[in-house]
Amino acid sequence: MYKVMVMPKYKIAVYAICKNESKNLPSWIENMQEADQIYVLDTGSTDQSVEILKNKAICYQVKHYDFFRFDVARNDALAMVDEDVDICVCVDIDERFQVGWRKILEKYWKKDTQLISYRYTWNFNEDGSEGTVFYINKIHARHGFCWKHPVHEVITYMKEGQCNIQYVPELQLNHYADNSKSRSSYLPLLELSIQEQPDDDRNMHYLGREYMYYGLYDKAIATLKQHLTLKSATWKDERSASYRYLGRCYYAKKDWVQAKEYFYRAILEAPYLREGYMELAYLLYEEKNYHGVIYFVNEALKITQRSYTYINEMTSWNETPYDLLAMCYYFLNDKERALYFVNKALEINPKNSRLIQNKEYFEQM
């Protein structure tokens, strides 16, 4: 009997950029074996990354940059991919697909498909459950695309007409961040991005958020307010996040009146998102306004559909809302409700030692 060879429906190539990823590379290469080809552009590793790529017979190049920017590096990596490839899959070295990803991709990719949007888990909770989840689109046709922006780069359709995007919820990519790696280059690259495109609402928002992360609150406030004035800043989810970050900045500056005002604005901008209600609830908890906390947490809990964009906050969807309710009812001397809600929190995170101690304390009372 002759074995019938089944030819793949599409030629699929994975491409990535790499720098000092010797710990991650072996498992990443194993995870990418479902592709027909794997391309890696090393941008100046000083560890064993290049040796691993060589030993694994991966198609690689080494390129040193006088000034590194992510869009240039990703475009250089994409240029390595053969011209006859049907589907290009851009994956970072700290990311892993669930096994069987190729079959799912081939199932949904059509001849006129140009871009795939799929499920992405950015981080995980302590108990291993999903944290922040949203959809990304870094799988694309070989031709007609390039990467733009020095950082927080996006794959951009360059042809005329509308890009045909296919949404694939079955396709799952997980991110396992190496927190020991520095992201100090992000801030100057974001500043450069805004210098190049001052009307880009997305990176203006990112720059304001980055200033907030660095504790540069006055710069963050000015930048986030600038984001909200841009004509292109029309996405309510992101506008709501800018209002929330403004509230956080004013809170850090101990201007609680302004902080509260911006948290209210976040809610009004996107009342369908939990995050604004929860931000305000945290502030009210600090003010010991426990009835206010209970009201706004319950308003948040009425929202049962989680947004699958990068805007959603893990603490709005884990045990935190029930934890806040339990503490508020404890301080209001309603021990039965305090016990009820700490049990609700433990259903989500049963290994949280503080919640376990609170439950034991409430039971004794």
For residue 342, the model assigns a pLDDT of: 97
Question: Domain residues for 57?
Answer: 12-175
Among residues 224, 304, 213, the alpha carbon closest in space to that of 269 is found at 224
Within a domain: 246: yes
- Domain co-membership, 115 together with 191: no
CB count in 10 Å sphere of residue 237: 16
For residue 164, the domain's CATH number is 3.90.550.10
- Domain co-membership, 196 together with 160: no
How far apart are alpha carbons 285 and 297 in whole angstroms?
A: 11
Render each residue's pLDDT in the chain as its tens digit; 365 residues.
Answer: 445 445 568 999 999 999 999 999 999 999 999 999 999 999 999 999 999 999 998 999 999 999 999 999 999 999 999 999 999 999 999 999 999 999 999 999 998 999 999 999 998 887 788 888 899 999 999 999 999 999 999 999 999 999 999 999 999 999 998 777 777 788 999 999 999 999 999 999 999 999 999 999 999 999 999 999 999 999 999 999 999 999 999 999 999 999 999 999 999 999 999 999 999 999 999 999 999 999 999 999 999 998 888 888 889 999 999 999 999 999 999 999 999 999 999 999 998 999 999 999 888 88
- Domain co-membership, 130 together with 211: no
For residue 267, the domain's CATH number is 1.25.40.10
Within a domain: 329: no
- Domain co-membership, 124 together with 232: no
Within a domain: 341: no
Give the end of a domain, one of 175, 196, 228. Answer: 175
Within a domain: 352: no
- Domain co-membership, 194 together with 169: no
| pTM more than 0.75 | yes
How far apart are alpha carbons 80 and 74 in whole angstroms?
A: 10
Q: What amino acid occupies position 64?
A: H
Q: Number of folded domains in the chain? A: 2
For residue 222, the model assigns a pLDDT of: 98
For residue 8, the model assigns a pLDDT of: 61
Within a domain: 344: no
For residue 7, the model assigns a pLDDT of: 52
